[in-house]
Structure 1
Amino acid sequence: MSVLEVGDSFPDNVSFTYIPFTPESKDITSCGIPIKYNASEEVKNKKVVIVAVPGAFTPTCQASHLPGFIQNIDALKAKGVDQVIVIASNDPYVMSAWGKANYTKDDFIIFASDSELAFSKAIGWTQGDRTARYAIAVDHGKVVYAAKETERGVDVSGAEAVLAKL
């Protein structure tokens, strides 16, 4: 696998690990049970945005990157997005806590682990031992947007940039 470009089919065998939101486990100290999210299968029949961040709770990720997607849920849905998957190299427990800390209440935005950077390494978009900052939009199996940040900050991978390309 190599860098994904617009027009490419989303690759096979891509999965992440996440803990689904449930009302019973809404408290940030509730752990939940991690499950596999088969991204390759899920994106075949949906419009999905994958947002990669270097780390949960880190300054730019928390203050600049994630808020745009949370604030633009209605705009994303209006563009036909079925789900946003926020991935990082953190384990699924940390990612779940990050979602809860940001008051997510359903699985429109899921917080998943790119375990051992399997996906990010496969497309060549890592930042040392972390995922790079990037966004990929997939519409029914086809990549319609893919961009990786080359500088500090959130330019091409933020919600506004993604919305402009949907």
Structure 2
Amino acid sequence: MSIKVGDIIPDGVLQYVPFDPKEDITACPRPIQYKVHEKLKGKKAVIFAIPGPFTPACSETHVPGFISAREALESKGVSEVVCISVMDGFVMNAFAKAYKAGDKVIMAGDGSHAFTDALGLAQDLTKNGMGIRSKRFAIVVDDLVVKYVGVETSFGVSSSGAEAVLSKL
């Protein structure tokens, strides 16, 4: 069963590396925990998921859209934008650096897909050589309560993109 509007976002622990503008792209800092309920309690936030960093739709449209829309999201009360992928925090940190996410988007790994499973939004891409990954989605939460869920049902970025999220705020 997938998460829906009105639900409380499940708690979970992701991995991320806080943004450091002086960090070289080849640096390998150790990820720290991002505890979903602890970080998002009392805040309006967007959590969006990409099936794979460095893949076409994720790299060309989805992530750049949220990086570009950060100020517009803030103007609508969003204080945190979190990109998750069923990937480790090391890869998500490299992806953040490569795409210059800076402090606009927190790039967090859900390596064991436990949080993605709790949302009911995992998919099996084994036939494509990718294993278990997340579906492409976006969720808006306000004080841990789900206000919007956009899950892609085909290739591309529409209901999970920054423009769709902005239109629902």
TM-score normalised by the chain length of structure 2: 0.91
Q: What is residue 123 of structure 1 aligned with on the other side?
A: 119
Task: Tell me the CA shift for residue 57 of structure 1.
Answer: 0.7
* RMSD after superposition: 1.2
Once residues 102 and 108 of structure 2 are traced to their aligned partners in structure 1, the CA distance between those partners, rounded to angstroms, is 15
1:45-64 pair list within 5 angstroms: 45-64=42-61
Once residues 87 and 5 of structure 1 are traced to their aligned partners in structure 2, the CA distance between those partners, rounded to angstroms, is 18
Q: What is residue 17 of structure 2 aligned with on the other side?
A: 19
Once residues 123 and 10 of structure 2 are traced to their aligned partners in structure 1, the CA distance between those partners, rounded to angstroms, is 21
| 1:155 has 2:152 as partner | no
Unaligned runs of 5+ in 2: 125-131
| 1:138 has 2:141 as partner | yes
Q: What is residue 87 of structure 2 aligned with on the other side?
A: 90
| Moved beyond 2 Å, runs of 4+ | none
Q: What is residue 108 of structure 2 aligned with on the other side?
A: 112
Task: Tell me the CA shift for residue 71 of structure 1.
Answer: 1.0
| 1:36 has 2:33 as partner | yes
Query: What amino acid is aligned across from residue 152 of structure 1 in structure 2?
Result: F
TM-score normalised by the chain length of structure 1: 0.93
Unaligned runs of 5+ in 1: none
Aligned positions, number: 162
SS of the equivalent of 1:115 reads coil
Query: What amino acid is aligned across from residue 99 of structure 1 in structure 2?
Result: A
- 1:72-127 Cα offsets, whole Å, 9 max, x none, are 11101101111111011121111001111111222x31101012111111222112
Once residues 22 and 74 of structure 1 are traced to their aligned partners in structure 2, the CA distance between those partners, rounded to angstroms, is 20
Query: What amino acid is aligned across from residue 19 of structure 1 in structure 2?
Result: V
